[in-house]
Amino acid sequence: MYEKEMKKLMKLYQDGIFSQPFYADKIAGAQDFESYENFSKIPFMYKDDLRNTKPFDRTSATTKDVYGIFSSSGTTGSKTFYVYSKKDKKVYNEFVKAFYSELGVNERDLGGVFAPVDTGVMAHSMMWQFTTMGSGYVNCPEPSPDNMIDFVEALPITIIATRPSVVCSIADNPQYVKSAGESNVRMLLLGGGFLTEGRRKFIEKMWGASCYSMFGMSEVFGPMAGECRYQDGLHYLDKYLLIEVLDPVTHMPVEPGEYGVAVYTTLWDKGFPILRYWTDDYIAVDTSPCRCGRDLPRFRYKGRLADCLEIKGQYVFPRMLEECLFKYGFEGEYRALQEKGNRIKVVLEKRDGYSVSPGMKKEIDELFMNEVAIEFVPKEKLAYDGHAIRFIKENG
Ligand SMILES: [Zn+2]
């Protein structure tokens, strides 16, 4: 299992990529990378490991190797720094070209980066992706509905990069939807959240543009996986990324093709390597051939384990509720709250003329194992909070 990957890691090890105590302590006992069995004894790396160490204690790189550094404050505790080396930028370019050449992004395009200002890494990655493809870009750091429409009316923007929730925010204003449809925008590259098929179709219709899901994380870069024109799973470059898919409880590999937690390891001499990094992403890897004909595996992303609700031993992800809502024509905001005693309250934005059909009620009941009540509230109570946390666990 993972023979090629173990050879690469062995080479990186011999080249001294893991010589700092931060890594050496973790890989003691498994440092020969002789087999996946040995490798799988390396303890997981977590976000706290990054938060509680200084980036330059985790690298043999020096400031002359640095391409860029970003920080995120997080809600509690100290800042996390993400450092990109010049070599990482070269690998990043390979990822971008692999995804965007396939989609036909080119130098005639003008990219609109509609990433909120609090997403520093994301906004920069999105700007870099356009320059990598030879396209120009414009940055809209406060992508309110008004601002977005101003930008697409004033400029011949052909591709928008942002989160799914941002491009949906114009939906309540028919004039804005008309402007979006009449704009030059032909493609939307959406990251920073899951994209259901229902929402994809809703966005594609509203903007009159094709919509592709992209996947990234600050610890590596974005996009580190991306859809092709067939919109059927996120391709990734397995020569640079080892993705283990593990059972969330036993930490053992799941059966091929099944869902589990993604644990990432980078396979190049990354400035700041990640080694068995546990991110909570719930994914399934698909190694079957894709219609695009490229020899790149894909994964399907269900969401983050931290964002799902566990009901009677089953994981229920926001994505599953959203798929059901769109299927029954509900295109508004929603939340699910897990109350005391594990009862679930599904809260939907009140919309004129919309009520819950028997079919929709049945599916929601089944999804939450009959522990659910549905209620409507005014939209203000569900206003987009910048992060779109859909499922909330009430303590107690
Ligand atoms: Zn494909």
Look at residue 79 and tell me whether its pLDDT is greater than 90: no
The enclosing domain of 318 has a CATH number of 3.30.300.30
How many C-beta neighbours within 10 Å does residue 87 have? 15
Could you tell me if residue 333 is inside a domain?
A: yes
pLDDT per residue over 140-151, tens digit each? 989 999 999 999
pLDDT per residue over 109-165, tens digit each? 999 999 877 667 888 999 999 999 999 999 998 999 999 999 999 999 999 999 998
Distance from the alpha carbon of residue 318 to the mean position of ligand 1, in angstroms = 25
Residues sharing a CB contact under 8 Å with residue 188, sequence separation 6 or more, in sequence order? 159, 160, 161, 162, 167, 203, 204, 207, 209, 210, 211, 212
pLDDT, average across residues 86-114:
97
pLDDT, average across residues 236-244:
98
How many C-beta neighbours within 10 Å does residue 152 have? 24
State the pLDDT at residue 71. 85
pLDDT, average across residues 167-195:
95
State the pLDDT at residue 389. 76
Expressed as residue numbers, the domain containing 356 is: 309-393
Distance from the alpha carbon of residue 103 to the mean position of ligand 1, in angstroms = 10
Instruction: pLDDT band for 59, please (50, 70, 90 cuts).
Output: confident
Could you tell me if residue 346 is inside a domain?
A: yes
| C-alpha dihedral sign at 323, 324, 330, 332 | negative
Task: Give the total number of structural domains in the chain.
Answer: 1
Nearest to 246 by CA among 393, 36, 390: 36
Q: Which residue has the higher pLDDT, 279 or 74?
A: 279
At 386, give phi and psi (nearest 5°): 95, -25
Distance from the alpha carbon of residue 219 to the mean position of ligand 1, in angstroms = 25
Could you tell me if residue 324 is inside a domain?
A: yes
Could you tell me if residue 378 is inside a domain?
A: yes
Look at residue 386 and tell me whether its pLDDT is greater than 60: no
User: Could you give the CA distance from residue 197 to residue 6 in angstroms, rounded to a whole number?
Assistant: 36
Look at residue 396 and tell me whether its pLDDT is greater than 50: no
Residues sharing a CB contact under 8 Å with residue 37, sequence separation 6 or more, in sequence order? none
Residue count (the chain): 396
Distance from the alpha carbon of residue 289 to the mean position of ligand 1, in angstroms = 8
Could you tell me if residue 294 is inside a domain?
A: no
Distance from the alpha carbon of residue 97 to the mean position of ligand 1, in angstroms = 14
Paired tokens of 72: 């995120």
User: Could you give the CA distance from residue 33 to residue 30 in angstroms, rounded to a whole number?
Assistant: 6
pLDDT, average across residues 189-208:
95
Could you tell me if residue 257 is inside a domain?
A: no
Could you tell me if residue 164 is inside a domain?
A: no
Could you tell me if residue 268 is inside a domain?
A: no
Q: Which residue has the higher pLDDT, 99 or 51?
A: 99
Distance from the alpha carbon of residue 180 to the mean position of ligand 1, in angstroms = 28
